[in-house]
Chains A and B, each alone.
Chain A
Amino acid sequence: MKSGSNLEKVLTSGQFAVTGELGPPKNADAEVIRTKARLLKGCVDAVNITDCQTAIVRMSSIASSVILMEEGLEPVTQMTCRDRNRIAIQSDLLGASALGMKNLLCLTGDHHKFGNHPNAVGVFDMDSVQLLQMVKNMRDEKVFQCGEELKGTEPKFFLGAAANPFADPFEFRALRLAKKVVAGAQFIQTQLVYNLERFAAWMEAVRDLGVHEQCYIMAGVTPPKSIGMAKYMKNNVPGLDVPDEVIARLKGAKDAKKDVKEEGINLCVDIINQVKEIEGVAGVHIMAIEWESAVPEIAKRAGLLPRP
């Protein structure tokens, strides 16, 4: 056990893990975090707190993580390389650990071109693989990136990374995951799974490399809230693969005068049930940003409750 976090305990004990996601507000209102946290409480093992996702200025992931902890939930604090250099990252991580954060998701970060400050400097002093390596060395070797000894208490994080089975080149995707695991990733949260066929093919490649035995892979899922959202994800989000059948299913529900949101939840539950059956999938990461209230229902219907 590297961090002793709840998520680490659930995963190492072999139970199917569930994480949620919470996007901090674009203001200084702690109540926003508290309200969303209450919706997720009891339904997930830990909650990802995004780090200015899509490069839009929001409350910091570390500050939001503290508020989440006050509500009795465990954060998976996200850290990107877009806005901080190695000095700032290491400094923030010492602080995050001192504040009690135990899970860290290491990301390169979305490019700022589409955010609300497209004219900013994109720092990218390092990438996600190098970030993992650096934090692992801080924890296991007690050294800073520069090689200097870290005297005293080291930050003890359960280290996570992202993987996108749907990005190109497909043949390299399992290898890239392997690289992240070598660098230090202990758990993986994937890009949203809608294309099960491709996800299964990727998992097969991952198993061929034996990587599923060296890390815990959690499949990312999200309930589509509307036909428009599904279409948007299909056409406008790079690295997302939304097959036509998904849109057709939602349209079918609409035509049959059924609730599209309800069908979105059903679809999400179906995907969870299917990924559960794939060898090497250790959990699901349910992202229902700005629709946190859907998570309890999804977890319940997918038979994921009660949480350990």
Chain B
Amino acid sequence: MIVGERKPIQEIVGMLKGMKKVLILGCGGCVSVCSAGGEKEVEILASILRIDRKKGGEPIETIEKTLPRQCDTEYLEGLKDEAGNYDAILSMACGVGVNYLADMYPTTLVFPALNTSFMGVSEEQGVWSERCAGCGDCVLDRTGGLCPIARCSKRLLNGPCGGSQNGKCEISPNVACVWQLIYDRLKGLNQLEKLKEIFPVKDWSTSLHGGPRKIVREDLKL
């Protein structure tokens, strides 16, 4: 899922300076699952903002809503009749939702309440970590299913580098060296041969470096 984290309150307060009526819009997708921007978080953020503004003598009216998803035309369209009623929409979705709101409502101010962190897993209660970088050209068949693009600090394709020690990455004793993990896994699977081949230079044009990406599936279009 896409993992996000709420921005510091003061940063959000700064964005909403002077606004009197704001829609705080949650998302029932990934950010709800990672407890960053779902219904509950909308409620909490709205009340913090109201208290803060009241204290400062400039009360704010907050309207709370959570859509099943903010990355879908169908759901965002539902705001058509009300979007003009707000000074701004504070989206608690990932950056995708914020963008799509801005795309669809050109005359309404839209602000992000979250930092969109990464695509990752929920390792345990309260702990998330990255697994995929969305490079657009998956290499996991060659690396035992473990991603060197997302999980190696230098995105090495012919790792492990000389900084790998005791299973840890050179950047921090708290970061696992994914190339050690790849090595161990391929060894266990009797596939160490795979690591003898030189992995050629990657084509990054399928990643962000090729410009904004888009997929069109003619077979699915109506």
Total contacts A-B at CB 8 Å: 98
Report how many residues on chain B are interfacial, defined by Cβ distance under 8 Å. 31
Report how many residues on chain A are interfacial, defined by Cβ distance under 8 Å. 37
**A144 and B195 alpha carbons, distance in the complex (Å):** 25
With both chains docked as a complex, state the minimum distance between the C-beta of A126 and any C-beta of chain B, in angstroms. Answer: 5
CB-CB contacts of A77-114 with B at 8 A, as 1s and 0s?
00001100010000000000000000000001111011
Contact of B97 with A by CB under 8 A: no
Contact of B99 with A by CB under 8 A: no
Instruction: Knowing A172-B183, A175-B196, A179-B196 are in contact, say whether A127-B163 is a contact too (CB < 8 A).
Output: no
Which residues of chain A are within 8 angstroms of B160 by Cβ–Cβ distance? 167-169, 172, 176
**A164 and B177 alpha carbons, distance in the complex (Å):** 16
| A-contacting 9-mer, from B45-53, B60-68, B122-130, B198-206 | B198-206
Task: Identify A124's interface contact among B155, B170, B177, CB under 8 A.
Answer: B155
CB-CB contacts of B165-180 with A at 8 A, as 1s and 0s?
1111011100001001
Task: Assess whether A239 is in contact with B164, with CB atoms less than 8 Å apart.
Answer: yes
**A168 and B178 alpha carbons, distance in the complex (Å):** 12
Instruction: Knowing A130-B200, A134-B201 are in contact, say whether A122-B163 is a contact too (CB < 8 A).
Output: no
Task: Assess whether A164 is in contact with B156, with CB atoms less than 8 Å apart.
Answer: no
CB-CB contacts of A134-158 with B at 8 A, as 1s and 0s?
1000000000010000000000000
Instruction: Knowing A111-B170, A167-B160, A238-B170 are in contact, say whether A127-B165 is a contact too (CB < 8 A).
Output: no
Task: Identify A130's interface contact among B164, B166, B168, B201, CB under 8 A.
Answer: B201
Task: Identify A127's interface contact among B156, B166, B195, CB under 8 A.
Answer: B156
Task: Identify B154's interface contact among A114, A122, A182, A191, CB under 8 A.
Answer: A122
Which residues of chain A are within 8 angstroms of B108 by Cβ–Cβ distance? none
Task: Assess whether A191 is in contact with B157, with CB atoms less than 8 Å apart.
Answer: no
Which residues of chain B are within 8 angstroms of A127 by Cβ–Cβ distance? 154-159, 161
Beyond known contacts A125-B204, A162-B162, A169-B184: 17 more, CB 8 A cutoff? A108-B161, A111-B163, A124-B154, A124-B156, A130-B157, A130-B158, A130-B199, A130-B200, A133-B200, A167-B163, A167-B165, A168-B160, A169-B183, A172-B160, A175-B195, A175-B196, A182-B198
- Which residues of A does B touch, CB under 8 Å? 81-82, 86, 108-111, 113-114, 122, 124-130, 133-134, 145, 162-164, 166-169, 172, 175-176, 178-179, 182-183, 191, 238-239
